[in-house]
Amino acid sequence: MIGGTSPHRHLLGPGFLLAGLGVAAGAFGAHALEGRLAADDLAVFETAARIHMLHALGLALLGLAAARWPDAGWKGPGLLMLAGVAVFSGSLYALALSGIGWFGAITPVGGAALIAAWMWAAWIALNRT
């Protein structure tokens, strides 16, 4: 469906947007932060950007799955993946840039959300497609 409210639009668009932001974050880390952050902090920022970008592609993949199987319920794992990226990568970006340690303490919550999103998507793929 072109221009409608197909389920895949709610995943593809945010996935592509997240990918663009991931590229921007990676470029920012490589060009603006190199030499300004300690090597350990730069590595944390790079981890955040890598996980951010991988899950942007994962969100787009969920959008493609939703286009193929529109009634399978892909929006749930997509929203969980989006939240997981926000918490996981967001907390690592904040930790690297601010040095405030408690940001690192919430990173595993985002990681757990990402794992759960992939498991939920796998369950849908194995049982509803």
Cβ contacts of 95-102, under 8 Å, gap ≥ 24: 95/41, 95/44, 96/33, 96/37, 96/41, 96/42, 96/44, 96/45, 96/48, 97/37, 97/41, 97/45, 99/41
Is residue 88 domain-resident? Answer: yes
Would 81 be classed as within a structural domain? Answer: yes
92: in domain: yes
pTM exceeds cut of 0.85: yes
Query: What's the pLDDT at 96?
Result: 97
Q: Does residue 1 lie within any of the structural domains?
A: no
Q: Per-residue pLDDT tens, the chain, 129 aa: give them.
A: 444 566 677 899 999 999 999 999 999 999 999 889 999 999 999 999 999 999 999 999 999 999 999 888 999 999 999 999 999 999 999 999 999 999 999 999 999 999 999 999 999 999 975
The boundaries of the domain holding residue 46 are 9-127
